[in-house]
Amino acid sequence: MKQENDYLEALAVEGIDLYAVQLQDGGWSIADGLGALLTPADESELAGWHLPVRFKSPCQAQDAIKDGPSDWFDISIDSKWSKHAMSHGAVYDFSYVM
């Protein structure tokens, strides 16, 4: 399965440039943009990508964002952000392919 960034919903976390995003399969993740569907066409390069993890709810994703690491946002599975998300209830998405 190819990774898609066509999020159904993107919820901002105040003061942080990351979003809790609802994926096409209904799960939630953390992304650095609004996704292809929600980003204006003339700003498509800013659509962003999400971590290869799934949360059950947007609140879990937002809570993980609020106390996330100070490291640069990195979508690789072994990044501090991915590990942080999994320590906050997310599970690795095995269909994730880069």
Flag whether 98 is in a domain.
no
* Mean of pLDDT values over 21-49: 94
Flag whether 46 is in a domain.
yes
Q: How confident is the model at residue 96 (pLDDT cuts 50, 70, 90)?
A: low
Which tens digit of pLDDT belongs to each residue from 64-81? 999 999 999 999 999 999
Flag whether 56 is in a domain.
yes
Which amino acid appears at position 43 of this protein? Answer: E
Q: Is the pLDDT of residue 83 over 80?
A: yes
Closest to 39 measured CA to CA, from 5, 73, 15, 12: 5
How many domains is the chain built from? 1
pLDDT at 8: 95
Can you give the residue range of the structural domain that contains 79? 9-92
